[in-house]
Structure 1
């Protein structure tokens, strides 16, 4: 009798333990599903190309007799002036042996009113850096409050037009990109060919000037390593590709009558978009849950 009671108690304890394990698996399953959906929905929305540009403060900049006080990694310019787009970030890196500041405004020593409160690094030591992201168009003068002869300008201007939702014809259409371009005509359409790993842009309108150069800011997640370009079915060999952060700046010489430009790369926007990714992740987790559940039940 005692043995039977002991066996029943052990059986009940085992059942409760298995039930707890099963509930734990269910809870983990639900958590993973929710996290996956949040990640996909908020992590794969339309992507807009943004860049970070670095201006170095060279050794000796604290001396007013130094040959230059800034050097841009973007183009090597030493004037302290840099042109960027809205939402771009400028990073000032202190490669000098002295403390410096990067403070918006014009130094009183140069006829200005001093700091204007838009941005201010405060003192930052050798080896440190300061970043500022520029949202609005405009001209932003800056200087070092310790060494007022160190002055520069950030010019923020939307020189580019934008074609939106490029990639909505690829995969399930949920992963799209906004592509900036500079051209004397208009791009009315952009089509992604997943099989050819290509993006084709359709050009229309009358030229607004004599410069027929097309410049595209192509996000690397839209098309990576653009290496072959066709204009109306004919290859173009004298194009230029310059990597800048998460995008490639592609410069293409075309004619005033060019109607289509096709760019081929090594990969294009992922075949599986947000919705497909959720379905795939959910399916995989469901299989894992089913296997775990069967193992727990088999132990009962």
Structure 2
């Protein structure tokens, strides 16, 4: 009897998740972005990885939006506009940002802003500032990323942590030779820490560990994909907070065969919802009792 009740709960949740998830829109919402240093970036080597030393290496934000520069690493870093060769250009500078500290910058001019760490000059990144509500490019520029919007209520896929926090993702369409953008939202949560692993055809295209999102939302970019096949996304929750972490640490929410195309989305969400709950239950050993 208990087994039937548990299965009924899984199926009910999956059906609800399938109904609330829809296809992404054609515009990108970049009102806020969080940038963190790669773990261990105080030593050379991160510059040779797909993720780079600042994550994301290229961040996009709207004019008037907020760039949160958060130091989740154990070493002190700076986010200094300019480049190691020419030095600071004076547009923004966090000064020495100690572990666990953050700095916010609100840009007022469209453009591309390179920055680096004055302590560890191999750490470089770029912030792209665009007009609010700007339509996405037609792949005519160098990066060729297909962006997506994170509209309220619409998501590529949705899962849930055992504490009831809804986890939603918005993903651009996987395209061979291009990077894929994945936005993530932990509903009604702040200072969220998590890892994200993305694989395509069994090959790792993103492994972002120690991501921190000040207001529960953020964006991640994969390495260029080898094909247009769907991807698998695993979110590993690492706690709420900056210094002391709380919540169901270590739980996983798994999204499989993610390809945000109309017509396949409803069926895909059903599978995602069931897999999400099973992954959480197995990890936490929280079994509902009736």
- Give the TM-score category using the shorter length: 0.3 to 0.5
Considering Cα pairs closer than 8 Å and 6+ residues apart, tell me whether 1 or 2 has the greater RCO: 2
Max radius of gyration: which structure?
1
Scaled by the length of structure 1, the TM-score of the pair is 0.36
